[in-house]
Structure 1
Amino acid sequence: MAAQPRAGGLTMLDRVTGYILRGVAIACLVALFLLIFVNVGARTFQLASFPWFDEVIQGLFAWMVFIGSAALWREQDHFRVGWLADVLPDRPGRVLAIVVVLLEAAFLIAMTRYGWDLTVRSRALTPILNLPTGLLYASIPAAGAIMLIYTARDFYRAAIGRDPIERMPF
């Protein structure tokens, strides 16, 4: 039996990052489902009321959306219209890929910067649990930074002529 090639350090880090991103998004989704299920049951049978419910749901939803987006970004699974790049010859197609990646980077830089400002400047506390609202907002710069790292990967791929939309192994 032939020995399997060992994954490099960056490949292993990328794979672990993928597992963590998916794990956080899935854990948030499961927690959302369970909390909503319990809340609906409690209200239906008038068993209990959970005043903290909305705060927890908002936090879980924010983290699920932004970290889930980063997971999709890593795996190149987000929505993309690629017909123009497919019909262009190699050189113009590569230029288009580079321009698209640079536009993505510009958006992500703005998102990360303003998300960081929002997180740092937020001084409010949630009404029931008294948690800093910055905890909710922190998902924005965290996901933005992760997506920027993968955008740098996509830029490198586009610059050397590889397809930046090449699928990542989980």
Structure 2
Amino acid sequence: MLATIDRITGFILRAIPVCCLAALFLLLLTNVIARTFQLAGFSWFDEIVQGLFAWMVFIGAAALWRERDHFQVDWLERSLPAIPARILRLVTTLLAICFLVVMTAYGADLTRSAKALTPILGLPTALFYITIPLSGAVMLIYSSAELLRLLTGFNSSRETQQ
């Protein structure tokens, strides 16, 4: 059951940034063509680009975090013997959890306090900010699972493959 939920979550976390990138590409292409041939100006363009970019970056970061595909400097962990490497991994996971708790809490506070509307389309700016606590919560869940694996000694399939 958890594997199915994880697989669906992974699909959604990859699909959202891909859709945002495709939409950004189409919007930019349309805007360039419209401006080149002086067909039209899109005053709402910047608002949509900002929102799509925010969703693409934060949800994309959560997708990378889930799969541990984000940039990591792991030469020290790889060069240490097993027990010190595990302790280092535990410390870095705890630090990541602390950061993610703060990011998620402040992101939720920012989203809650955002009362402004975008100037042209009148969209709530909270729609742009909500991606911060959402992605933070996803990353926090996966970091907590990693912490549990480290504490119980259970090796993930990814670790055993390396």
Matched, 1:101 2:90: no
Q: Deviations over 1:18-50 (max 9, x none)?
A: 000100010000000000000000000000111
**Where do 1:67-146 residues align within 5 Å?**
67-146=59-138
1:58 aligned partner: 50
Q: Percent identity over the alignment?
A: 57
Q: CA deviation at 1:93?
A: 1.1
CA distance in 2, matches of 1:67, 1:26: 10
- SS in structure 1 at match of 2:158: coil
Unaligned runs of 5+ in 2: none
Q: Provide TM-score, normalisation by structure 1.
A: 0.90
* Amino acid aligned to 2:152: I
CA RMSD of aligned residues (A): 1.3
Q: CA deviation at 1:163?
A: 5.1
Which moved further from structure 2: 20-29 or 89-98? 89-98
Unaligned runs of 5+ in 1: 1-8
Which moved further from structure 2: 152-161 or 97-106? 152-161
Q: What is the total number of aligned residue pairs between the two structures?
A: 159
- SS in structure 2 at match of 1:143: helix
Moved over 4 A (4+): 162-165
Q: Provide TM-score, normalisation by structure 2.
A: 0.94
